[in-house]
Amino acid sequence: MKLNRKIGKVLFCFLFLLTINAHALDGKVFNSKDLVILTNSYLQSKGGDDAWLIKNISPTDDFADVAMRAMDFEEQAKKALEQLRATTTLSSKVVESFKKIKIGVLTSKDGKLIIIDDQDSTKIPHDLLLCLIPKNLADDSYLSLASFDRDAKAIMIFALHYPEKLLPALIFHEMGHAYYLKLGKQSPGIESFSKKYCEEEVEMLDLGRAIVDKSTGGAFFRFTDELLRKVGKAKEPKDVLAHIELQDLIEFDGILEAKKCKSIISGLLVFEYIYNIGARYIENNFKKERDRKSKKEEFCYFLMKEYYKE
Ligand SMILES: [Zn+2]
């Protein structure tokens, strides 16, 4: 879940294109301009600031209040991990491998943070840290609102109010990266902008999709399948995107109860929706796991290129 900020930045540059309405094309091959228009139309309706759980952290702040908010977030995350652990093989392994998760709040740009604990157990080592980034520290150095910091062994996540049906997917996705690191798998970071990066990323994106589907009682994949039935066969998975309309993205928002999300969260959502549509098409049309894997990696890499080019 690395692309949202960049997407927002890149695609807002194209806002002048918005006078052309997003529409499904006849002829039905992928055209990157249409993806830009579609994404911009969606993001344009999502302007403004998302609601922050922690806006600022400074010595003059009421720290007890910040700690309470962080602990609420931790409780929400841990509840989701427990409720959704059996979703896939990977989700159960992920939950099983991290028993001592603690919550922290970043307090300065140089990486200082405080670990919050409701008991006198700060000395007990944690095996994973969930670190909230307050608004005043959430700058462009973070390529995404959620990421896994391999050096700090911490999930870094913007301290926002997330839709209840989205947050578990974010946590599982990043914990998946943490789990792979624990297994000794060495995956390149997003900065490498490589096909190799997409190998692990696709697994985590798929884990996130499965979690969203479970959280929405199956509505997420049900709607995607309906959409794909209307589309029919495409020459390439990416050509499916030529049939997607703004209304479809808004439907996804409804399913995730994310209609009120603003620019930051929506930048991530649009990537998730678009990836999900292509990935689901691949799952429905390719029987062999090996083919699915390589097609998805190709699709993920293609989307990265589409969303990253400036
Ligand atoms: Zn990832």
Specify the DSSP class assigned to residue 50.
P
Q: Distance (Å, rounded) from C-alpha 244 to C-alpha 97?
A: 39
Helices 4-12 and 263-285 cross at an angle (nearest 10°) of 110
pTM over 0.85: yes
Q: How many residues does the chain have?
A: 310
* pLDDT of residue 310 exceeding 60: no
Q: Look at residue 121 in the predicted model and tell me its pLDDT.
A: 52
With H, G, I as helix, E, B as strand and everything else as coil, classify residue 211. Answer: helix
Q: How far apart are alpha carbons 237 and 280 in whole angstroms?
A: 9
Checking if the pLDDT of 196 tops 60, the result is yes
* Vertex 209 angle, CA 165 and 172, to 5°: 70
| CA 44 – CA 128 distance, rounded (Å) | 36
Please tell me the distance between residue 124's alpha carbon and the centre of ligand 1 in angstroms: 28
Q: Nearest-CA neighbor of 124 among 105, 94, 102, 153?
A: 102
Torsions phi, psi for 154 (to 5 deg): -135, 140
Ligand 1 centre distance from Cα of residue 8 (Å) = 18
172 C-alpha to center of ligand 1: Å? Answer: 10
Q: Rounded to the nearest whole angstrom, what is the distance from the C-alpha of residue 58 to the centroid of ligand 1?
A: 30
- Closest among 242, 274, 248, 245 to 25, alpha carbons compared: 242
Cα 62 to averaged position of ligand 1 atoms, centre (Å) = 33
Compute the distance from residue 38 Cα to the ligand 1 centre, in Å.
Answer: 24
Q: How far is the CA of 26 from the centre of ligand 1 (A)?
A: 34
Give 227-262 pLDDT, tens digit per residue: 999 988 888 899 999 999 999 999 999 999 999 999
Average pLDDT, the chain: 86
**What mean pLDDT comes out for the span 26-34?**
75
List the structure tokens of 143.
């390529």
For residue 126, report the distance from its CA to the centre of ligand 1, in Å. 22
Q: How many whole angstroms from 162 Cα to the centroid of ligand 1?
A: 18
pLDDT exceeds 70 at position 124: no
Identify the three-state secondary structure at position 158: strand
Domain ranges of the chain: 4-49+216-308, 63-160+166-182
